[in-house]
Structure 1
Amino acid sequence: MAPARWSPTAFLAVLLLLPPFAPSPARAATPGKSLSSASTAVFQLQGAVYPIGHYYVTMNIGDPAKPYFLDVDTGSDLTWLQCDAPCQSCNKVPHPWYKPTKNKIVPCAASLCTSLTPNKKCAVPQQCDYQIKYTDKASSLGVLIADNFTLSLRNSSTVRANLTFGCGYDQQVGKNGAVQAATDGLLGLGKGAVSLLSQLKQQGVTKNVLGHCFSTNGGGFLFFGDDIVPTSRVTWVPMARTTSGNYYSPGSGTLYFDRRSLGMKPMEVVFDSGSTYAYFAAEPYQATVSALKAGLSKSLKEVSDVSLPLCWKGQKVFKSVSEVKNDFKSLFLSFGKNSVMEIPPENYLIVTKYGNVCLGILDGTTAKLKFNIIGDITMQDQMIIYDNEKGQLGWIRGSCSRSSKSLMSSFP
């Protein structure tokens, strides 16, 4: 649902379907060698909820492989890089813009092009044009290309997979070149055919299973494949279809505050790593704010802070959420019997550079959202698992600041 998150807000990807086409076989994949479908690729993450606003991964793309920082987004399908094709409107990014070559351009009739922009005619048959718009009015315009992604697997081997992604030469995001962006583009990990995860499954590189773990201390890890998914203590729920798109959803959950029902009908929920914060619809948002305020210590005073809409100051300047979390209570989302996600204060609060504590749950009606989003802040220090093989979502609480080599000791 987000492009590389140039500002901490939620984005819902809506593909603007460009030129029309006819279906054809997918581009051939070129894995480095035949792999077991149980192979898993693990990546270290960088970033944080505040003040960075997103978590990102280094992907090695091209031949020879060059590093690019990509914002991890489970809410949209298409991976894209800012691309010198030439670049009409691009941000300053950490690495030189990706330079495509003509032989890497995906033709309009390719199956991944037709899956991305169905029922349209080809304006230029030799290339697949795309345009994506997001709810914050950001957009990416470009062409699809295919190039090698070099992935390191847990068994110490390396595979090169030829994957299709967007070469974005006209980006309308953030302040468009006025400031340095933290990432080079976006890593689309949704359920669509053009998602990197779907392509890796199609090529037999990894199973269609994704997991991420965002650390409250910054960083964390990301994995593709299923052989490090914990075998016990994971809360699993079936993936549900959403009324607003093909998003990862555990269905409708009942909201509780301090284990007491807030008296509302179940709310449709989406898991979206492309959103920095959580977004609730008007009714659950107002109920949450009212419940929080009713239980607050008189030592906390509401204060204006540019970081977020609702903030409080204390009798002293706060340096971390741990100093103030005892003044707040946990929220809970119940998705049925024994399927509960606890949202403790550290999963909905931040402390700003001004020393105030702010609510990281926002009113989704201002972003014109039709459902409720669980974003990065609520996912911190939980392994979140998107198992497309079994059609289920899972979560298990644990430290996300460990290295990928000690995963199994963190999550038995």
Structure 2
Amino acid sequence: MKMGSLLFLICCLLLARAASLAEFKGDEAAIYLDLYHVDGSNSSLGNKYPEPFAHALARDENRIKALRYRITSTKARKPSIILNQSIDILGPESVSIPVNSGLSLGSGNYYVKIGLGMPAKFYAMLLDTGSSLSWLQCQPCVVYCHAQVDPLYNPSTSRTYKSLPCSTSQCSSLKEATLNDPLCEYRTGKCVYTASYGDSSYSIGYLSQDSLSLSPSETLPRFLYGCGQDNEGLFGRAAGIVGLARQSLSMISQLSSKYGNAFSYCLPTETSTASGFLSLGRASLAASAFRFTPMITESREKSLYFLRLGAISLAGKPLAVAATQYRVPTIIDSGTVISRLPSSVYAALKQAFVKIMSRKYSKAPSYSILDTCFKGSLKTMSVPQMRLVFLGGADLALTPANILIDVEKGTTCLAFASGSGDIEIAIIGNHQQKTFKVAYDVTNARIGFAAGGCQ
């Protein structure tokens, strides 16, 4: 009987450990969440009839325009106090709320499941390192909610839910987090947020506070987020967005006092049967042999993650461009698919890549923004080695799947594009980040890379 009781106790302990996604190391903890591509083979958000890839590239361009605006705009963006604007979110005024379309970013390509409320209900939320305010669709959804895979969140069922009044400092901070002025609902005095995106999607609702659950045993009380009552646009079937930018209302900032201001992730490929991960907390940085590059702060847009690209090599040879050509504002971003390079750097990469690939493969017509394409499939092609080298020696030694992308049957393209605009920017997109572990050590202002995949 004693032996049976002992075995039962051991089994309970193992089950309890398996149920928790928190890994503790000393006084710190890392919270591990499964991370999925929205169109992945194991995704619950995938569409039965996937859209043409050209549509995804069009959204990518909208996101780039939004990023460029945020970085290059000369308009002052100081956190504002509540303006003398009031609305009735239930009334006709709500359809004419002023939004700065194109200021914030579009939705992402990867999602995690997080819990809200007490008792907790879990929802599939898009991950975005370029957004600050997290939000999800909420009942009664008085204006509009897009179709989502999970039931709509009902805040009235949570013992810990509360909406915030307009007089709070958190309401004032919405301007910095969303780039839209906060508003005040005149019937109730509730603070109203507006999150607008580069593709004209938006979410409008109440700034709220509730319990956030990251695992069965790890919760954050008084988590600030948006409870969306009018949510329209291209969010797929996700419940909302999780913001991980460098701003006080982002999820990582709100978790920092408990876990530390750091996180890491591994983005899985669409064809992978395994999930990637999002790991929150300082301890997540110790899990791999990261090589770090400085995290640069851009004075015009402090919430995004900047770094310095120093060189690109192809087939073991550096591109024939001056080092100064790389010195443009460069962002690493989870929501942009295709990396953008300064026009002179891209021209050199295209020339060198075509010279190597055209020996074996026929050129194919351009596809949307991708103008370096070949007839064939990624699976059958021999691709030259490519490395992206960053300030301080950190690098991404790209695999063929990071370099090329199949855009349609029989056509594959170089997964880079040229920057554009009067003021150039560069972006390290998620296609080049796939299967690498990427670390964001906000406290020590550094970004790290490690090979090894998403296992």
Q: Where does residue 166 of structure 2 map in the other structure?
A: 108
Query: For the structure 1 residues 116 and 63, does the alpha-carbon distance in structure 2 shift closer, same or farther, using more than 3 Å as the test?
Result: same
2: CA distance, partners of 1:345 / 1:331 = 11
Q: RCO (CA 8 Å, sep 6+): is it higher in 1 or 2?
A: 1
SS in 1 for 2:266: strand
Amino acid at match of 1:399: G
Q: Report the residue type matching 2:286 in the other structure.
A: P
Partner of 2:414: 359
Which residue, 430, 434, 440 being the options, matches 1:376?
A: 430
Residue aligned with 1:333, SS: strand
Q: 1:322 to 1:149 in 2, by over 3 A?
A: same
Q: Give the aligned partner of residue 332 of structure 1.
A: 388
Distance 1:306 1:250, change over 3 A: closer
For structure 1, list consecutive stretches of 5 or more residues without a partner in the other structure: 1-34, 403-412
Contact 1:308 1:360 in 2 (8 A): no
Q: Please state how far the C-alpha of 1:59 moved relative to its aligned partner.
A: 0.9
Match of 2:439 among 385, 399, 404: 385
Equivalent position of 2:244 in the other structure: 189
- Please give the alpha-carbon distance, in whole angstroms, between the structure 2 residues aligned to 1:385 and 1:106: 33
When the two structures are superposed, what TM-score results if normalisation uses the length of structure 1?
A: 0.75
Partner of 1:270: 331
Residue from 202, 212, 216 that aligns with 2:265: 212
Q: 2-side partners of 1:355 and 1:79: how far apart?
A: 40
Deviations 1:245-298 (A, max 9, x none): 121112353334333133142233211112222122433333322222122134
Aligned to 2:120: 65
Aligned equivalent of 2:285: 229
Distance 1:209 1:285, change over 3 A: same
Match of 1:40, SS? strand
Give me the whole-angstrom Cα distance separating, in 2, the residues matched to 1:362 and 1:93: 32
Question: For residue 140 of structure 1, what is the amino acid of its counterpart?
Answer: S
Inter-CA distance 212–260: structure 2 relative to 1 (3 Å threshold): same
Deviation at 1:382, TM superposition (A): 1.1
Cα shift readout 1:287-316 (whole Å, capped 9, x = no counterpart): 3222221221344233347676336444xx
- What code does the residue aligned with 2:207 have? L
1:112-171 Cα deviation digits (max 9, x unpaired): 222222696853473222222333333322221112111228xxx433433111122223
Q: Secondary structure of the residue that 1:365 maps to in structure 2? A: coil
Structure possessing the higher radius of gyration over alpha carbons: 2
Aligned equivalents of 1:173 and 1:363: distance in 2? 27
Counterpart for residue 279 of structure 1: 340
Indicate if the aligned counterparts of 1:48 and 1:55 stay in contact, CA closer than 8 A: yes
DSSP-derived class of the 1:112 partner = helix
User: Which has the larger displacement, 120-129 or 75-84?
Assistant: 120-129
> Given the superposition, is the C-alpha separation of residues 243 and 373 from structure 1 closer, same or farther in structure 2, using an over 3 Å criterion?
farther
Q: CA 1:94–1:120 in structure 2 vs 1: closer, same or farther (change >3 Å)?
A: closer
Percent of aligned positions that are identical: 25
Gaps of 5+ in 2: 1-24, 47-55, 57-108
* CA–CA separation in structure 1 for the residues paired with 2:224 and 2:117: 12
SS at match of 1:262: coil
2:173 maps to a residue whose letter is: S
CA distance in 2, matches of 1:136, 1:365: 18
Question: Partner of 1:123 in structure 2?
Answer: 184
Match for 1:149 among 196, 204, 212? 212
CA distance in 2, matches of 1:170, 1:80: 11
Which amino acid counterpart does residue 107 of structure 1 have in structure 2? Answer: P
- Alignment CA distance shift 1:110-1:59 (3 Å): same
Residue matched to 2:85: none
Question: 1:323 maps to which residue?
Answer: 380
The match for 1:166 among 204, 217, 226 is 226
Relative to structure 1, the CA distance from residue 286 to residue 387 in structure 2 (aligned partners, 3 Å threshold; closer, same or farther) is same
**DSSP-derived class of the 1:64 partner:** coil
Counting only pairs closer than 5 Å after superposition, residues 84-99 of structure 1 correspond to structure 2 as 84-99=139-154
Displacement of 1:359 in angstroms is 2.4
| Change over 3 Å in CA distance of 1:395–1:90 after alignment to 2 | same
Aligned residue in 2 for 1:16: none
C-alpha change, 1:186 and 1:120, in structure 2 (3 Å) is: closer
Measured in 2, the distance between the counterparts of 1:90 and 1:302 equals 44
Separation of aligned partners in 1, 2:395 and 2:431:
17
Contact residue 257 and residue 291 of structure 1 kept, 8 A = yes
Q: Distance in 2 between matches of 1:357 and 1:73?
A: 27
Structure ranking higher in helix proportion: 2
Name the SS of the counterpart of 1:198 in structure 2.
helix
Change (3 A) 1:98 1:283: farther
Assess if the C-alpha contact under 8 Å between 1:50 and 1:350 holds in 2: no
CA RMSD of aligned residues (A): 3.1
The within-5 A match list for 1:133-144 is 133-144=196-207
2:34 aligned to 44, 50, 67, which one?
44
Counterpart pick for 2:255 among 200, 203, 206: 200
3-state SS of 1:309 partner: coil
Deviation, structure 1 residue 79? 0.9
Q: What is the DSSP-based 3-state SS (H/G/I as helix, E as strand, rest coil) of the residue aligned with 1:288?
A: helix
**Cα 1:363/1:104, change in 2 over 3 Å:** farther
